[in-house]
Amino acid sequence: MRRTLLILGAILLASFGISYAKPNSTQEKPGSTEPKITPEDAAKKNPVTPTPEGLAEARKLFGYNCAMCHGKGGDGKGDLVADMKLELRDWRDASSLEKMTDGELFWIISSGKGKMPGEGERTAEKVRWNFVSLVRSFAKKGAGEKAKSESSQN
């Protein structure tokens, strides 16, 4: 039993050491060599037609991987925003995304940006395109909720 605990402790300690020793290329740094989006990537169109099943899968993964920063409803006010000193867009506001192409959103989701790690290899391409549709849907919901709240005030 002691030997098992000793081995598990050593593995855990080694994994922490490796994670701190290996620089994370998605962190913003002055003079960063962070990968840049190409015009071809920015011009990509979403090849995945949104379906309730696809959006449900994206929403589930968003809850696990993204909501802690981006907020459950995409408002940019997740639990970690203040702790990490982040300023995130409120995706419920359509103007926050109107100048971004689907290709740009897909690239950011795949590659990461700033302190956000990319989904890249750990998430299937189809799911990443569903993330794009999900992010776009927050603005549609937000516009509807904003109209409801304005009409209820009148």
Each residue's pLDDT tens digit, 40-51: 999 999 999 999
Query: Which is higher by pLDDT, 130 or 13?
Result: 130
114 three-class SS: coil
Mean pLDDT, the chain, rounded, equals: 81
What confidence tens digit (pLDDT) does each residue in 16-56 have?
555 554 444 334 445 566 789 999 999 999 999 999 999 99
This prediction's pTM: 0.70
Place 59 in a pLDDT band, splitting at 50, 70 and 90: very high
Name every residue whose Cβ is closer than 8 Å to that of residue 91 and which is 6 or more positions away in sequence.
70, 74, 75, 76, 97, 135, 138, 139, 142
- Alpha helices for the chain (secondary structure H): 2-21, 39-42, 52-65, 67-70, 102-111, 125-153
Three-state SS at 153:
helix
| Domain ranges for the chain | 37-153
CATH (residue range 37-153): 1.10.760.10
CA distance 75 to 92: 6
Asked if the model's pLDDT at residue 150 lies above 50, the reply is no
- Given a cut of 70, whether residue 128 has pLDDT beyond it is yes
Among 69, 116, 70, residue whose Cα is nearest residue 90: 70
Q: Which residues pair with 117 in a beta bridge?
A: 112
Q: How far apart are CA 108 and CA 43, in angstroms?
A: 13
Confidence check: pLDDT of 145 > 70: no
Res. 151 pLDDT band, cuts 50 70 90: very low
Q: Which residue has the higher pLDDT, 25 or 121?
A: 121
Q: What size, in residues, is the chain?
A: 154
Predicted local distance difference test score (pLDDT) of residue 42: 95
Q: Indicate whether 83 pLDDT > 80.
A: yes
Distances (CA, A) of 77 to 87, 90, 92: 9, 8, 12
